[in-house]
Chains A and B, each alone.
Chain A
Amino acid sequence: MTPSHRDLLLGWLGFALALALLPLALQSDFALSVASKIGIAIVFALSYNMLLGQGGMLSFGHAVYSGLGGYFTIHVLAAVNDGRVDLPVSLLPLVGGLAGMGFAVLLGWVSTRRAGTTFAMISLGIGELVTACVLMVPAFFGGEAGISANRVTGSAWLGIDFASQTQMYYLIAAWALVCVAAMHYLTRTPFGRLANAVRDNPERVAFVGYSTRLVRYQLMVLAGLFAGISGGLAALNNEIVTIETVGAHASGLVLLMVFIGGMGYFTGPIIGAIVVTLLQTVVSTYTHAWLFYFGLLFLVMVLFAPGGFASLLAGGSATLRAPGALQRTLPSLLLGLVALASLLAASVLAVESAYRLWSGSAKATLAWGTLQLDPASASPWLVAAVLTALGAALLVACGRIGPAKELA
C-alpha cells in the first residue's frame, strides 16, 4: 500500500498541526504532562520497532539505551546548572542520543553477533547487568535516588525558559516530529529495505552478499540513537533520572507498546505508545487493578489480534473502502461493538468487585454515579454474569451475520 506523495505530505502536515494545536484543547498541566509523556513514548516505541518490526530482532533490554541516554543528559544539564558547560537546553536531547548511540556501538557489537532467541537472551542479560551496575556506582547514577537537575537554567532565549509544562510540551513535540520523520525516512531507504530483508530471510541476504551481522549492528546503533534521544527528552521532562529508566520493566513496557500497537506498521508503535501511556497515567488514577487490565488487554491482543491495533484499523479501513461495504457491515459492526462493550463492562465489574473484596480496601463499595454496589453481595456478580452472557450472545449473532469476519 503506497500512498501518493500528496497524501503523505498532507499526513505529515496534519500530524504537525495536531501536535501544535493540542495544548489549546488540553487545559490542565496534568493533561499536558500526559501528552508530553506520550510524545516521549512515541519516539521510544518507534526506535524499538526499528529493531523488532523492521529488523526482526526481539530485544528485552532496549531501555538500557534510553536510560543511559537520560543519565548522560541529566549530568550535562547539571553541568549547565553549575555553569561548567554552556549548551542550550533544547539541544540536550542530542547528548542523550549520542550517549545511547555510543552504548549501542559498544554493547551492540556484542549482542548482534547472534540473532533470534540468542539475541533476545543476550539483551535480557545486558539489561539485568546494567540495572545491577547502576546501583553499584552511585557516583554516576545516584543510586536509588537517581540524579536530578533543573531545566530552568542559562539565558532564556525569546523568553523560553521551560518553566511551564506547555513550553516543555512544544520542545518534545518538535523533537518527536523530527525523530518520527527521520525514522520514517529510514524505512524508505535501501538500508531500511535491507533490514526488512534480513528480518524475512537472513540466509538469502547472506547469499546475495551482504553481511547480516553488519546490517543488524547498524540497525542497533541507529535504534540506540533514537532511544537515547527519547531518554534525553524524558530527563528534561522529569528533571530526574532514576534506575527504573534502564530496568526490565521499562524494556517490557516498550515491547508491550509496540506489540499492542502493531509491529508490522509504521504507525503501530505510535498507537501503542498512546494507548499504553494513557492506561498508565489516566486509568491508574481510577483503579488499583490497572495492571490487571493491562495484562488482560495484552493477552487478548496476542490471542485474537497479533497484528495489533494498527492491523485492525488497516484491515477495517480496507474492508470499508469497498463500495457498499458500510451498509453491509454496519449491523454486524454495531453488534460487535455493543458485544465488546458489554464484555468489557462485565470484566471491569468483576475485577473491581473482586479487588475490593479481597484487598479489604478502604473503599469497599463500587460507586458509579448514584449507583452503589456492594461486592460482598450477589448483585455485582449477577450483573457481570448477565453482561457476559449478553456479550457472548451478541458475538455469536455477530459471527452469524457474516461480513464482520472480514474485519478480523
Chain B
Amino acid sequence: MNKQTVRAALAAITLAGVAGATGAQTIKLAYIEVLSGPLGAVGELGSKNLQFVIDELNARGGVLGGRKFEMLPFDSKGSPQEALAALKSATDQGIPFIVQGNSSAVAGALVDAINKHNERNPAKRVMFLNFAAIDPDLTDEKCSFWHFRFDSHVDMKMHGITNAIKADPKVKKVFLINQDYAFGHQVTRAAKEMLAAKRPDVQVVGEDLHPLGRVKDFAPYVAKIRAAGADTIITANWGQDLTLLVRAAKDSKLDVDWYTYYAGAYGSAAAIGDAGIGRVKNIVEWNPNVVNPKMDAFYVAYKAKWPAPADEFFYYRMKVMMGMLGTALEQAKDTDAQKVASALEGMTWQGDVGEVTMRKNDHQLLQPLYIPTFAKVGSGGVRVSLEGSGYGFGNALVVPAAETALPSSCKMQRPTAP
C-alpha cells in the first residue's frame, strides 16, 4: 500500500464520516470481531453470516424509506484493548451501531467504553448489539441502556440443559469440565446450583477447570473423569478445547453422555464421529435440522452463495438481531441511539422460528431454545450434514422462551429524555 492509496483511503474515510454525520444513504454497522490470528476464522465466518443477512434485508427494500444497511468489519484481534481502538475508529467515522459477540471479555470492555463514550459525547452516541457474548453479568451487574443481547446467557442455557437432565433418569454422576476463566466459572457455578435444585439425587463427582486454549493433551483429564466414575459430562468448552477433549475421550473409549453448549460449531462434529451418536447434546436457538420452511429456504440460499463445507450458517440470532433493529429504526424514524434503544427495549418480534421478546429491564432476549442430539445424516432427525462431516444434531427438545426467563439483578441507568 503506497502513500497514494493511504491518502485516498483517508479521504474516503473522512468522506464517509461526513456522510455518516449528515445521514446519507446507508446505515452503518461496525462489526468488531477477531479477524486475524488463531481465532480469525470465527470472526470471518460470522461476518459472512451477517453480510448475508444484511444483503437479504437490503434486497427487501431496507429501512427508513429505502436506506440500506452497510457492515464495516473492524479487527479486534481477540483483545479487549484492540477492540477499544476499533471502537474509537468506528465512533470517529460516526457509525451508530456496534456489533460484536465472540468473547465476553471483549463485550464487557466494549460496554464499559461505550457507556463512557456516550456520556462524554452526547452528540455521537452508539448502540451495542451483542450476538454471542453470554456472560450473565452483561445483563446483571454490568447492564447498560445501550447494550442489547441477542443470545440466551449462560444461566438460561444451563436452565434448559438441567431441565433436560431432570427428565433423563440415566444421569446419575456428573463431571463438570470447563475453561478456567469467568465464562467457565459461571458455567460450573450454574450447573452445580441448578442440579442441586432440580435433581438432588445426581452426584457431581468432579469439576475441573483447565486453562483456555493451552491444553493439547486431554488424556489426563479423561483418565480423571473415568477414575471418578462419571456417566455424564457437562461442558461449555468451545473451539479446540472441545475438539481435543472429545477426541481424547474417543481415543480412550470413555463411555459417557455429553451435554455441551457448543458441540455444533467449528469442526467438532467431524471430531466426534460415530462414538457420539445418541450421546452428545448441545443447546442452540436454531440449526438446519429444525424443520421450518422459511429458514430452510434461507439456508439453501446461503449455501448456494457459500458452498464450501466450512462456511456454515450458525447465527440465526443475527437474523433476529437485524430484523428487530430494522423494526426499531422504523418505529423511531431516526438512527439516534437513544430513540432506537427506547424502541427496541420491550419489543416483541415475530421471527421465522418463533416469537422473541427483548426484555425491557435488562435488554436480554427471550427466545425458544433447542436441545438436539448427535446423529448420522439420514437418521435421528438429521437432514443436513454439518460442515460436510456426515453428522449433525437433530430431534431436538424444545425449551419455550418463557421457560428461559430468569430474574435479573440489573439496575439500569437510563438517560434523561433529550
Contacts and interface: CB of A to CB of B under 8 A. Distances in A.
B78 to A, nearest CB: 9
Nearest to B106: A145
B334 interface: no
Interface in B95-137: 103-105, 108-109, 112-113, 116, 120, 135
Interface string A18-62: 000000000011100100010000000000000000000000000
Contact of B88 (A33, A138, A152): A33
Interface in A139-187: 143-146, 148, 150, 152, 163-165
B291 to A, nearest CB: 30
Contact of A164 (B2, B8, B84, B120): B120
B105 A28 contact: no
Contacts of B47: 362
Interface string A271-297: 000000000011111111011000000
A341 B109 contact: no
Of A240, A288, A345, A368, the most chain B CB neighbours within 10 A belong to A240
Given A30-B88, A145-B80, A291-B36, A239 B113 contact: yes
Interface string B16-32: 00000000000000000
A348 interface: yes
A244 interface: yes
A162 to B, nearest CB: 10
B81 A242 contact: yes
A257 B91 CA distance: 29
Q: Interface size bucket, A side?
A: 35 or more
Nearest to B8: A369
B75 A284 contact: yes
Contacts of A238: 81, 84
A132 interface: yes
Nearest to B82: A244
Interface in A341-386: 341, 344-345, 348, 359-362, 368-369
B211 A29 contact: no
Nearest to A289: B36
Given A33-B85, A145-B104, A244-B81, A239 B181 contact: no
B51 interface: yes
B75 A135 contact: no
Interface of A is mostly: helix
A365 to B, nearest CB: 15
B92 interface: yes
Given A240-B81, A244-B79, A281-B85, A348 B1 contact: yes
B379 interface: no
Contacts, number: 101
Given A135-B212, A146-B105, A368-B5, A242 B80 contact: yes
Interface in B183-197: 183, 185
B295 to A, nearest CB: 23
Contact of A150 (B89, B91, B109, B116): B116
B211 A132 contact: yes
A164 B120 CA distance: 8
Of B44, B85, B104, B185, the most chain A CB neighbours within 10 A belong to B85
B215 interface: no
A240 B84 contact: yes
Nearest to A290: B36
A136 B179 CA distance: 12
Given A239-B116, A348-B1, A145 B109 contact: yes
B112 A148 contact: yes
Interface string B39-62: 000001001100100000000000
Of B8, B89, B185, the most chain A CB neighbours within 10 A belong to B89
Given A240-B80, A281-B85, A284-B75, A144 B103 contact: yes
Q: Interface size bucket, B side?
A: 35 or more
B182 A138 contact: yes
Contacts of A37: 85
B369 interface: no
Of A163, A242, A368, the most chain B CB neighbours within 10 A belong to A242
Contact of B120 (A30, A163, A360): A163
Nearest to A245: B81
B112 A240 contact: yes
Contact of A152 (B8, B35, B120, B211): B120
Given A239-B113, A240-B80, A284-B75, A144 B182 contact: yes
Contacts of A286: 1, 5-6, 9
Nearest to B137: A145
Contacts of A341: 2
A345 B2 CA distance: 8
B330 interface: no
A285 B89 contact: yes
Given A146-B105, A146-B109, A244-B79, A135 B211 contact: yes
B88 to A, nearest CB: 5
Contacts of B109: 145-146, 148, 240, 242
B308 interface: yes
A42 B104 CA distance: 31
B88 A29 contact: yes
Contacts of B89: 30, 285
Contacts of B181: 135, 138, 143-144
A270 B181 CA distance: 37
B180 interface: yes
Contacts of B120: 152, 163-164
A291 B40 CA distance: 13
8 nearest interchain CB pairs?
A144-B105, A145-B105, A144-B181, A30-B92, A145-B108, A163-B120, A242-B80, A244-B79
27 contacts: A28-B92, A29-B88, A135-B181, A135-B212, A138-B182, A138-B185, A144-B105, A145-B80, A145-B104, A146-B80, A148-B108, A165-B88, A238-B81, A239-B112, A239-B113, A240-B80, A240-B81, A240-B109, A242-B79, A242-B81, A281-B85, A285-B74, A286-B5, A288-B36, A290-B36, A345-B2, A362-B47
Given A135-B181, A138-B181, 5 more contacts: A30-B88, A132-B211, A135-B211, A239-B113, A287-B1
